[in-house]
Amino acid sequence: MDARSAPDEDTALERAALDVLDANWTGTATVPSVGRYPHQWSWDSAFVAIGLSRRRWSRACEELLSLFAGQWSTGMVPHIVFDPAARDSYYPGPSIWRSGECAAAPRGVPTSGLTQPPLHACAVWWIWRYARDRDAALAFVRRTWPCLVAQHRYLASARDLGGEGLAAIVHPWESGLDDSPAWDAPLAALPMVGYACGLEDWRSDSHHDRWVWLALRYRDAGYGPGYLRDEHPFAVEDPMFNGIWLASCLALADLAGVIGADGRPFEEAAERIRGGLLARLWEGAFYARDLRAGSLIPIRTIGGFGPLLDPGMPATVVGPLVELLESCFLGPSGYPVPSCEVRALQFDRERYWRGPSWVNTNWLLRQAAAGHGLGALERLLATATLRLVRQAGFRECFDPFDGMGRGCRDFSWSAALTLDLLAG
Closer by beta carbon to ligand 9WN, 251 or else 408: 408
Interface with ligand 9WN, residue 218, by CB under 6 A: no
Which of the residues are catalytic? Answer: 178, 396
Closer by beta carbon to ligand 9WN, 208 or else 274: 208
**SS3 call for 276:** helix
Q: How far is it, in rounded angstroms, from Cα 147 to Cα 108?
A: 18
**Residues contacting ligand 9WN: total by CB under 6 A:** 9
Q: Which residues of 59-77 are buried (b: 16+ CB within 10 A; e: fewer)?
A: bbbbbbbbbbbbbbebbbb
The Cα diameter of the chain in Å comes to 58
Closest approach, Cβ 327 to ligand 9WN, in A, equals 26
Interface of this chain with ligand 9WN, residues 241 to 280, rule: CB under 6 A: none
Interface with ligand 9WN, residue 37, by CB under 6 A: yes
Closest approach, Cβ 30 to ligand 9WN, in A, equals 11
Closer by beta carbon to ligand 9WN, 75 or else 303: 303
Q: How far is it, in rounded angstroms, from Cα 194 to Cα 205?
A: 10
Q: How far is it, in rounded angstroms, from Cα 233 to Cα 291?
A: 9
Task: State which of residues 25, 41, 128, 305 lies at the interface with ligand 9WN (CB under 6 A).
Answer: 41
Closest CA to 82 of 113, 119, 123: 113
Closest approach, Cβ 203 to ligand 9WN, in A, equals 7
Closest approach, Cβ 139 to ligand 9WN, in A, equals 29
Interface with ligand 9WN, residue 398, by CB under 6 A: no
Q: Judge whether 372 and 317 are in contact, CB under 8 Å.
A: no
156 to 175: interface string for ligand 9WN, x by CB under 6 A: -----------------x--
Count of CA atoms in the C-beta half-sphere (13 A) of 89: 8
Closer by beta carbon to ligand 9WN, 66 or else 383: 66
Closer by beta carbon to ligand 9WN, 201 or else 323: 201
Task: State which of residues 13, 18, 24, 32 lies at the interface with ligand 9WN (CB under 6 A).
Answer: 32
Task: With both helix axes pointing from N to C terminus, report the angle between 239-259 and 120-129 in degrees, rounded to the nearest 10.
Answer: 40
Interface with ligand 9WN, residue 43, by CB under 6 A: yes
Interface with ligand 9WN, residue 335, by CB under 6 A: no
Q: Judge whether 48 and 67 are in contact, CB under 8 Å.
A: no
Q: How far is it, in rounded angstroms, from Cα 406 to Cα 334?
A: 15
338: which strand partners?
A: 357
Q: Judge whether 343 and 300 are in contact, CB under 8 Å.
A: no
Closest approach, Cβ 274 to ligand 9WN, in A, equals 25
Q: How far is it, in rounded angstroms, from Cα 202 to Cα 72?
A: 33
Closest approach, Cβ 39 to ligand 9WN, in A, equals 9
Residues that bind ligand 9WN (CB under 6 A): 32, 37, 41, 43-44, 79, 173, 176, 178
